[in-house]
Amino acid sequence: MTSGPHPTEGEQRRARLTGIGLMCGAVLTFACLDASAKYLNGYMDTLQVVWARYTGAFIFALFIFNPVSRPGLMRTTRPVLQIVRSAMLLGSTITNFLAFRYLQLDQALAILFSTPFMVAILAGPILGEWIGWRRWVAILVGFAGVLLVTRPGVGGVHWAALYSVASAVFYALYIVATRVLSRTDTSDTTLFYSNLVGAVAMLPVLPFVWTTPEDPFVIFLMVVFGAFGSLGHYLLIAGHRLAPASVLAPFIYTQLVWATGFGYFVFGDVPNRWTLAGAAVVIASGLYLLHRERVRGTA
């Protein structure tokens, strides 16, 4: 028995469950990416780690998305914005990887989870998506959660928490630019430029920071490192094709579980009560922002 042109309720449910599974897979690969970056930081300069991330991602992605198999892949109506957006992602990656030199994975990630609040603030003047007083309250509560993690001025987290804050700002600008580009360019095109710009930008820096790895595991990790990023974005895109963003967004926060696990088993980091409390506040505020988006969408 075949279904009609419109998917049945059961088919929609299966599609959403598949999308959620893909989203969880994407989040796991991003956690692997972060843990690999922190590990490689102990063997080489952070900029070399960033180069490995983008070069590996670019090469890996070429097997899936390339201008030969997809002739229109590099066609964009807004090339300058594509470059600016990719530069924002590169800035976020560099500052995030620098933070990993000094912070635990769960601490850096808890601060990075403030990105949705910054996006909500920037979306008004840039995208015309103004927010009401309820979401302003959620944003202020979310930033209070970030302060719980960083505890500025009380001998709390290392000063390198500023790297994570900068990473969140860069990433928020990247997300806003991505929303603008989604109106004209395909996801494949945008992903291609992200990897291309990052790989090209880091190449001139490489001779000044290069350290030849000798440990076979480090070499292996450098090879597969970029694949984590590309695979994660690929799963993310595939998941959003099957389920609405409002359904998938809460599962982003499961990355904190993976980050805490990697931090404990790989690096011996135990999350303190301030990090856990701050992360809980940030996640709760982010989920409320998501709820308000769904309410607005329904209205």
Q: Is 153 left (phi over 0), alpha (psi -120 to 50) or beta?
A: left
Residue 155 pLDDT: 57
Report d(CA 293, CA 144) in Å as an integer. 21
Per residue in 140-167, pLDDT (tens digit) is 887 777 777 666 555 555 678 889 999 9
Please give the model's pTM, rounded to 2 decimal places. Answer: 0.81
Residue 35 pLDDT: 94
Residue 8 pLDDT: 79
| Other residues' Cβ atoms within 10 Å of the Cβ of residue 34 | 24
Please identify every stretch of the chain with a pLDDT value under 50, giving residue numbers as ranges. 1-4
* Residue 133 contacts residue 75 (beta carbons within 8 Å): no
Residue 2 pLDDT: 45
Per residue in 164-186, pLDDT (tens digit) is 999 999 988 988 888 788 788 88
| Other residues' Cβ atoms within 10 Å of the Cβ of residue 269 | 19
Report d(CA 253, CA 249) in Å as an integer. 8
